Structure 1
Amino acid sequence: MPPDAPTYNLFDEPWIPVRWAPETDGPLPEAVGLRELLLRSHEITQVAIALPPALSGLYRILYAITARITKLDEAGPGSWAHRRRDLTDEGQLDGDAVQEFAQSNRLRFDLFDPERPFLQDPRLAHECDGANTAGVNKLITTRPSGNNHAWFRHVCDNAPDLPSAAEAALHLMVWHYYGPSGRCSSRTVSTTKAANALAGPLRSTLSYHPEGNTLFETLLAGLPEPGSTVRRSRDLCPWERDDLPDPSVLPELGGLCSDLTARSQHALLLVPDDSGQHVRDAFITWSHRDKISRLGDAYLIWQTSKEGNPYPRPADSHRALWRDLDALLLKKPSGTALPLQPKVFTTAHEVSEDLRIRALGFEQDGQAKDVQFVDASTPPVLGLTEDLNPRIAPQIGKLRIVGETYGARLDRAVKKAWAVYTDAAKIADCTWSVDAAARYWPAAEAEFWRRLDAADFATAAVSFRRLAEQVYDDVTAKALGTMRGAKACSQARTELYGGPAKAPVKTAGTRPAATTPEDT
């Protein structure tokens, strides 16, 4: 590297904001590099990144690094679970192992290295049109670019505010994991010239992570057990490969580390300013023309479509995390989509029963539309997994179903009342349904956690029904002053109890069965 070339090594530069444990002594910087993050992971409570998709991507990179440092990247020798338990008992990562990893990988973790910049492809400087780069406003995913709407601020493409190298590193990860499909910078590789990319492996998904009292616990709990055939010599991260990736050949996913880090569909190259502290431009384009499978990601809830195809549960900023809890704690949760528990939760409780669950995601479509970040946490619940608590765990699913049932009935009831009251052509979303959802779901979440904490499941149906009734009455109250409104609200109220009673089928020689109101 030329002596005057800009450099920004992620092991040393303070680019990761953290929260320190209250009892921690010594200097407590607001941000640290990878080396200090790992050496002091037992003194750090959380990584304090406010960008959920960036934290989701960084967690995956940290899991891969932790697996290498602890040698938990392979199933043997000996019992993998026992080896992780021994590491947990030690209470911190081995300092010598951390230093050895940092020293041997140092060059590959420089953000601006001219030959192998971290998670970038230096070939883009000549494979793409240098006069038609993406620009920093495109790189920073929270900024508007082109004709897209502004989220947090207005920017000017002609005079952009240069992001710091630390900010650029976080958005580099967002692009690799959550990047959109569609139009990108044109890239020419051999005889192939194209200007469109496929969506990133986590695009529009919700990712679930176990979190402990320290980052050290979080990293160990986040390691799923590797398969018995996994070998670290083949299970390579991008920075461990001798050569830059061949765009015509899909990367080999040989185990935990490559699964976590080698699924990107985008290629990027950051252009630093002279100081190396800011990024002044960026190339963003495609990395592979074929889709890299995202099956097997250990942090997603996998569901089955009506056609029988697996797909990850999408991020939904309107859906509270408690509604996913049974799919995270149960081996076979209920539901027509046949959800599968994320693999990481089958062993995470072995590190600690006091682990929380953190949900991180990005509600977005497959292409350019971004809707909302998703970031939510539960109280410590890993002690309620099916393996540890077979009595309580099944009740979680039943409690969730009851809460969702009355939420759906309430939604149907207020939509029907509005349609009848306004003489609408069809039952659809309306002012009342938005108001009802805003009232019901936060209250239902509080009721869910209260009953789960008290292990009180016997009268849950009555409580959720009464909650739905109260919200219905509050939302429709102003319409009751007219005969038309009172009639519409009275007719639609039956939807709270499952809809109008169906007439019994009469057969010769039998009496119709008596009907009883539901949940009385």
Structure 2
Amino acid sequence: MGGIGPHRSTTAAGTPPLAQGPALILSLLGSFVSATVNILDEPLVPVRWAPGADGRSDPLPARVGLRELLLRSHEIETLAVPDAPAHSALLRVLYALAARVTGLDEAKDGPDDWLMRREEILAGGRLPEKGIDAYLARCRERFFLFDPVPRGRPWMQDPRLKDQCDAASTAGVNKLVVTRPAGNNHAWFRHASDAVPDLPTVSEALLNLLTWHYYGPSGRCSAREVNGVTSASAKAGPLRTSLSYHPQGDTLLQTLLAGLVPPARETDAGRDLCPWEWDELPDPEGPPPALTGPCSKLTAASMHALLLIPDTADGTRVRDAYITWAYRTGRAARPDDDYLIWQISKQGNTYPRLADSGRALWRDLDALLLIDPPGVAQPRRPTVFEWALEVSPDLRVRALGFEQDGQAKDTQFVDAVTPPVLGFVEQRSARTQPAVGRLRVLGERFGTRLDRALRRAWRTYVNDPKDSADAWAQAGAARYWPAAEREFWDRFRLLDRTGTALDGGLDATAARAAFLALAVAAFDEVTASAARTQRGAKAVEEARTELFGARHGKPAARPAAA
């Protein structure tokens, strides 16, 4: 692969270290320690091992380097990354590496041949060791997390920031670690001081580096001067605000192979480059590099430039970071990611489904499995699910995302896993609405009716039609949606998997009654205290009709006819 730089040197050219004084010797020693942090070898990635994994003579490590991760992916159950956006970002890097070491980064003979090659790798039970060794040996110099050498290339970073940004106005480690408060922001999870920061480990810094590349905010950032022009405004990361969906197998090997999508026939691996494969760093004043295939789409869409500063006193820590914009012009549109649900706005614009920490994953299931799911937004399932089923019908779906706005507000991580569901992926458009879609619609319907009923009851009770009525609505949602999720999965497990049962084996009448009963129970529990008064009882009973589909001025239907 092109773009791999020359062998590194750890001393200034032509000058013996001892002739340059004790201070320089200490500096070089600190640089040597940090330069040995190569993410291929250093145990920086947290994993959970599969049952029966070979512990050899020592206990299995909680963290591994990328080389061991790839070599032993068949023995690893899953990544154990605690922060959902970092997990999502790391998966994309691993997809690109898996494609490279297997040769699945091209499909010049078409998707059928590509699928056969993937099946051969899966049948072999592991990623090819020769492919791993050959690729990582060729790229090893680009996987050092810190590189003190002039013109060095630290992994997924821009060393030019040392000269282009003000060293007195760095971002700091509290800004780097997305779960910490920085500046004057409130502390939610932990207290942190910018004056005396708690230095993150190299592993923690690596994962947050990835989070910034994929989920970084738009708006003001550290000033960067390029060719005499200084600016301090960044575009949002390619995954910011979105929720991505990944097929997950019993092992990381299955997960990585199921997460690959056949490249277009014209894709050339020699031009479809990851950032660590570039011959030269791109010009910040020019347009972002073109995304010409799966590997560049997976790894090279960042709009942020970062540079980690190691702690020379403790090589296991990071003491500072530069975080700024990567390109002045930005991209014309968000890259077409294969792991997002894409839908259409009322204005006709395509956008990815947003991460919502209050929305359970089962409510998106028909948009993941069906070719033509119901909904006015015309959701399009992630492309990856068109190909994942070939790996195993027992794959689960993992949703990973970050509820946030386009600029600086971060709310909550989203991380959820379904039971095995990919056996239900539609291979062709159904003539009738599939059972999974009908089941999801029923659950959503009575959740919506409950929300409407509780808001109407509260507004009538307090005699204020403009009140938001959030208190009762939120209390009802907290009771209904977890119970509805359990009901959905209980009935989902009973659906027909053979394609022969009428209506997919769904008893729609029983399902409707079950979701209605959950909505009624939540409504009664939330309104119980108000119903003890005459005014409250009247407001509650009038609003109860909403649960059965009746609207203002219309009589309530009987429960059996709901």
What TM-score do the two structures reach when normalised by structure 1? 0.95
- Equivalent in 516, 529, 537 of residue 465 of structure 1: 516
Give the aligned residue type for 2:515: F
Give the aligned residue type for 1:12: D
Query: Which runs of structure 2 are paired with 1:320-399 in the superposition (5 Å)?
Result: 320-387=360-427, 394-399=434-439
CA distance in 1, matches of 2:446, 2:200: 47
Structure 1 residue 391: deviation in Å? 9.7
Query: Which runs of structure 2 are paired with 1:68-147 in the superposition (5 Å)?
Result: 68-77=100-109, 79-114=113-148, 115-147=152-184
2:452 match: 412
Q: Percent identity?
A: 56
1:296 match: 336
Q: CA contact under 8 A between 1:330 and 1:393: conserved in structure 2?
A: no
**Do residues 208 (structure 1) and 238 (structure 2) align?**
no
Corresponding residue SS for 2:458: helix
Corresponding residue SS for 1:12: coil
Which stretch shifts more, 450-459 or 488-497? 450-459
Q: CA contact under 8 A between 1:143 and 1:152: conserved in structure 2?
A: yes
Give the aligned residue type for 1:216: L
Structure 1 residue 294: deviation in Å? 2.4
Q: CA contact under 8 A between 1:363 and 1:372: conserved in structure 2?
A: yes
Residues 429, 228 of structure 1: CA spacing in aligned structure 2 closer, same or farther, 3 A cutoff? farther
**Do residues 180 (structure 1) and 180 (structure 2) align?**
no
2:548 match: 497
Which stretch shifts more, 461-470 or 360-369? 461-470
Corresponding residue SS for 1:363: strand
2:94 match: 62
Report Cα offsets for 1:315-361 as digits up to 9, x if no partner.
00000000000011111111111100100000101001110100000
1:252 match: 290
Structure 1 residue 432: deviation in Å? 1.3
Report Cα offsets for 1:255-301 as digits up to 9, x if no partner.
10000011101000111122432111110000012232323200000
2:10 match: 2
Q: CA contact under 8 A between 2:44 and 2:64: conserved in structure 1?
A: yes
Q: CA contact under 8 A between 1:305 and 1:337: conserved in structure 2?
A: yes
**Do residues 17 (structure 1) and 54 (structure 2) align?**
no
Structure 1 residue 164: deviation in Å? 1.1
Which stretch shifts more, 85-94 or 314-323? 85-94
Corresponding residue SS for 1:353: coil
Q: Which runs of 4+ in 1 moved over 6 A?
A: 388-393
Report Cα offsets for 1:226-274 as digits up to 9, x if no partner.
1111111111111111001111222110010000011101000111122
Give the aligned residue type for 2:99: A
CA distance in 2, matches of 1:244, 1:402: 52
CA distance in 2, matches of 1:480, 1:134: 55
Q: CA contact under 8 A between 1:180 and 1:198: conserved in structure 2?
A: yes
Which stretch shifts more, 146-155 or 251-260? 146-155
Count of residue pairs brought into register by the alignment:
510
Corresponding residue SS for 1:147: coil
Residues 386, 372 of structure 1: CA spacing in aligned structure 2 closer, same or farther, 3 A cutoff? same
Query: Which runs of structure 2 are paired with 1:143-292 in the superposition (5 Å)?
Result: 143-247=180-284, 248-274=286-312, 275-292=314-331
Report Cα offsets for 1:416-470 as digits up to 9, x if no partner.
1011011124252332111100100001001111111112333211211121112
1:33 match: 65
Q: CA contact under 8 A between 1:185 and 1:195: conserved in structure 2?
A: yes
CA distance in 2, matches of 1:72, 1:175: 27
CA distance in 2, matches of 1:393, 1:137: 49
Q: CA contact under 8 A between 1:418 and 1:430: conserved in structure 2?
A: no
Give the aligned residue type for 1:409: R
Structure 1 residue 390: deviation in Å? 6.3
Q: CA contact under 8 A between 2:238 and 2:301: conserved in structure 1?
A: yes
Which stretch shifts more, 20-29 or 341-350? 20-29
Give the aligned residue type for 1:22: P
2:15 match: none
Which stretch shifts more, 155-164 or 206-215? 155-164
Q: CA contact under 8 A between 1:461 and 1:519: conserved in structure 2?
A: no
2:16 match: none
Residues 50, 392 of structure 1: CA spacing in aligned structure 2 closer, same or farther, 3 A cutoff? farther
CA distance in 2, matches of 1:236, 1:457: 51
Q: CA contact under 8 A between 2:343 and 2:379: conserved in structure 1?
A: yes
CA distance in 2, matches of 1:48, 1:202: 21
Which stretch shifts more, 227-236 or 418-427? 418-427
CA distance in 1, matches of 2:99, 2:318: 31
- Equivalent in 310, 329, 349 of residue 309 of structure 1: 349
Structure 1 residue 59: deviation in Å? 0.3
Residues 137, 280 of structure 1: CA spacing in aligned structure 2 closer, same or farther, 3 A cutoff? same
Structure 1 residue 222: deviation in Å? 0.3
1:477 match: 528
Residues 215, 392 of structure 1: CA spacing in aligned structure 2 closer, same or farther, 3 A cutoff? farther
Structure 1 residue 98: deviation in Å? 0.8
Q: CA contact under 8 A between 2:480 and 2:522: conserved in structure 1?
A: yes
Residues 83, 388 of structure 1: CA spacing in aligned structure 2 closer, same or farther, 3 A cutoff? farther
Report Cα offsets for 1:40-76 as digits up to 9, x if no partner.
0000001101011001000000000100111111113
Tell me, which stretches of 5 or more residues in structure 2 are unaligned? Answer: 1-8, 12-28, 496-505
Residues 246, 457 of structure 1: CA spacing in aligned structure 2 closer, same or farther, 3 A cutoff? farther
Q: CA contact under 8 A between 2:459 and 2:469: conserved in structure 1?
A: no
**Do residues 47 (structure 1) and 84 (structure 2) align?**
no
2:539 match: 488
Corresponding residue SS for 2:440: helix
What TM-score do the two structures reach when normalised by structure 2? 0.88
Structure 1 residue 2: deviation in Å? 1.2
Give the aligned residue type for 2:550: G
CA distance in 1, matches of 2:186, 2:246: 31
Q: CA contact under 8 A between 1:302 and 1:342: conserved in structure 2?
A: yes
Structure 1 residue 473: deviation in Å? 1.3
Q: CA contact under 8 A between 1:360 and 1:376: conserved in structure 2?
A: yes
CA distance in 1, matches of 2:455, 2:64: 51
Q: CA contact under 8 A between 1:316 and 1:363: conserved in structure 2?
A: yes
CA distance in 1, matches of 2:523, 2:440: 20
